[in-house]
Amino acid sequence: MNHWANQLSSQIPGVVWPALTPARIAPLVALLNQFEQTERLPVAALQARQFRQLVTVAKHAARHSTFFRDRLATAGLTASELADPEGLQRLPVLTRRDIQGAGEQLYCARLPAGHGPTGTTSTSGSSGEPVVVQRTSINQLMWRAITIREHLWHQRDFTGRLAIIRANVEPGAPKNRRNWGPPVSEIFPSGTSHLLSINTDIAAQAQWLQQINPHYLLTYPTNLAALLDEMSENTLSLPALRQIRTIGETLTTAIRERVAQQLGIDVVDAYSSQEVGGIALQCPHSGLYHIMSESLRVEVLDEQGNACAPGETGRVVITDLLNFATPLIRYDIGDYAQAGPLDRPCGRTLPTLNHIVGRQRNMLRHPNGNRYWPLVGFDRYRDIAPIRQYQLIQKTLTRVEVRLVCDAPLTPVQEQQLGKVIVESLGYAFELNFNYFERALPRSAGGKFEEFVCEVR
């Protein structure tokens, strides 16, 4: 494989080789170069660098964020004491609630030189109350570098056609671009890309994809599943497609397997969030999710707050090492993941997650107080009735709303049969309310769709 540096586009008039990029792009190229070294550092060396960076950002935050200064004081700590895993663990985690409560006090009053300008990003939690985070130009730069790193790991052919079906695309006409768009187009020559809004009807999406005949497709897992249904029902194929990339929601093994069976290609998933950017990328060798340690530190914690061993599932707690505007230090992001092993065969020493399990709000709350990941039993639904889409919403400790999109309304007998399957799968005799929807079930403003949502606080 041709090294990526040989694919850079030269953007200085008159120079075709070696490629020269303008000054504003130089930091991006420099980071990509460094990543090749940093992702293979000895584990101890990588950790030492992370903690040196962490103390630097913590000292800045202690000086300029009232909230963080109080948080440290309450824990009886100084910024310098966060210099190793044991010290960091003494700082209680920061919840979404804490961030909402902190208001303006959370943000740093000043930024070091070169970090500005800041941008504001807001994400809604299960309660619909947004968490508002300020991010700097350094955070943005890191996200761009991580996005390109993901392409390079998977050796994508930038000359291919890229189809994107996601949220935040203007409704109406599909957009066609003459390149893949930033950050790829900032440094590499690339083929065309084509954007469609996630709110487009599935049949229309499939038709659009036939016309584009893309080499790569980027979309959300639940949308991909609906596309697979549509394609198999209408015996549609995408002959040029080489790989599918998913973002935004939890990618299940079931969807991966369906893609392999039906299309004979791989799905590559990326784990990111608006608050902290790229969190972990799938390894091209092992499929494990490597944590982006140059940008953040990830802890997976059990119910007692101790680090999970590989194979154990726990809460994802993130420390952003580079955000000097909003100190996100030990931030409980609301996700659950399974800790992974050191990926020896691939040689990358970046720590791993086996997989992302889901968001806390996707856990069922049993009337006995326990929370667990619900089985919804969907594979059995279709034996009962022609159900196209479903969503279960736990409204109270004992009541669940069942939202359905069906080809024909269910008969009372079918409703009863379906209710039996759902109750068995959930493991408790919930009272069920059936609600029917004409077309696709609504997605969140960010385009995400969740099969199970718990609204019980």
- 343 binds Zn ion per the rule CB under 5 A: yes
Q: Considering only 10-18, 181-189, 195-203, 278-286, which stretch makes contact with Zn ion by CB under 5 A? A: 278-286
Q: Nearer to Zn ion by C-beta: 97 or 285? A: 285
Stretch that binds Zn ion, among 47-55, 128-136, 301-309, 345-353 (CB under 5 A): 345-353
Nearer to Zn ion, 284 or 446 (CB): 284
Which is nearer to Zn ion, 251 or 353 (by Cβ)?
353
Tokens 């049993």 sit at which residue?
366
Q: Closest approach of Cβ 287 to Zn ion, in Å?
A: 8
Q: How far is the CB of 241 from Zn ion (least distance, A)?
A: 24
**CA dist., res. 52 & res. 369, Å (int):** 41
**Per-residue CA distances from 386 to 205, 223, 291, 381, 450 (Å):** 21, 19, 41, 8, 20
**Smallest gap from residue 43 Cβ to Zn ion (A):** 13
Query: What is the number of other CB atoms lying within 10 angstroms of the CB of residue 99?
Result: 22
**Could you tell me the smallest distance in angstroms from the CB atom of residue 57 to Zn ion?**
27
365 binds Zn ion (CB under 5 A): no
Least distance from C-beta 248 to Zn ion, angstroms?
23
How far, CA to CA in Å, does 320 sit from each of 148, 323, 346? 20, 6, 25
Contacts of 119 (CB under 8 A, 6+ apart): 134, 135, 140
Nearer to Zn ion, 152 or 453 (CB): 152
Residues 6+ apart with CB under 8 A from 368: none
What is the token pair recorded at 95?
């919840």
Beta-carbon-side half-sphere exposure of residue 287 (alpha carbons within 13 Å):
8
Q: How many residues bind Zn ion (CB under 5 A)?
A: 6
Range in contact with Zn ion (rule: CB under 5 A) among 231-239, 277-285, 310-318, 397-405:
277-285
Question: Of 156 and 315, which has the nearer Cβ to Zn ion?
Answer: 156
Q: Cα dihedral angle (390, 394, 398, 403), rounded to 10 degrees?
A: -30
| 346 forms part of the interface with Zn ion (CB under 5 A) | yes
Strands (E), 89-161: 119-124, 130-135
Q: Cβ atoms within 10 A of the Cβ of 22, count?
A: 10
Question: Are the C-beta atoms of residues 320 and 68 closer than 8 Å to each other?
Answer: no
- For residue 254 the two structure tokens come to 């079931």
Nearest to 146 by CA among 267, 9, 271, 59: 271
Binding mask 228-267 for Zn ion (x = CB under 5 A): ----------------------------------------
Q: How far apart, in whole angstroms, are the C-alpha atoms of residue 77 and residue 71?
A: 9
Looking at the Cβ atoms of 202 and 279, the one nearer to Zn ion is 279
Choosing from 283, 298, 317, 453, the residue that interacts with Zn ion (CB under 5 A) is: 283
Question: Is residue 348 part of the contact set for Zn ion (CB under 5 A)?
Answer: yes
Do 165 and 214 form a contact (C-beta atoms < 8 A)? Answer: no
By the rule CB under 5 A, 156 interacts with Zn ion: no
Tell me the closest approach of the beta carbon of residue 288 to Zn ion, in angstroms: 6
Query: Nearer to Zn ion by C-beta: 40 or 178?
Result: 40
Question: What residues pair up with 282 in beta bridges, in sequence order?
Answer: 289
CA triple 287-315-297, angle to 5 deg: 65
Q: What binding mask, one character per residue, do residues 285-314 give for Zn ion by CB under 5 A, x or -?
A: xx----------------------------
Candidates 27-35, 82-90, 133-141, 342-350: pick the segment binding Zn ion (CB under 5 A): 342-350
Per CB under 5 A, residues contacting Zn ion are 283, 285-286, 343, 346, 348
